[in-house]
Amino acid sequence: MYATIHRRKDNPETMHGIAEKANISYWPKLRQAPGLITMYLITEEADDMRTALTIWETQEHATAFQDEENRLDQMLDQHKQILQYRAQGKIIMHVNPDK
């Protein structure tokens, strides 16, 4: 498995417009992307931070979706959602709970 992580400082004034655009142009494409396992959007309300964690079957799947990620990044940049951190890499450990 392979993960991508994006962390941004929110601009609360532009969140509604971003959500509308993403609902039309981003989420449908992500949901249909080959190799997508899951995506989590984590909010830290105390400091207006959001972290997106996307899990892919392989690095190749993540790379194939990179153009869409770049388009989303451009839109977020235009709406003053400030990129704080970006990382990607192979998942080397996955822990499930004992049952």
Residue labelled with tokens 């977020």:
76
* pLDDT for residue 87: 95
Q: At the topology level of CATH, where does 2-90 sit?
A: Alpha-Beta Plaits (3.30.70)
Cα distance between residue 89 and residue 5, in whole Å: 9
Indicate the helix (H) or strand (E) that contains 99: none
Report yes or no: 41 and 23 within 8 Å, Cβ to Cβ. Answer: no
58 Rama sector, left if φ>0, alpha if ψ -120 to 50, beta otherwise = beta
Q: Domain limits of the chain?
A: 2-90
- Per residue in 51-82, pLDDT tens? 999 999 999 999 999 998 888 888 888 878 88
Contact between 68 and 29 under an 8 Å Cβ cutoff? The reply is yes
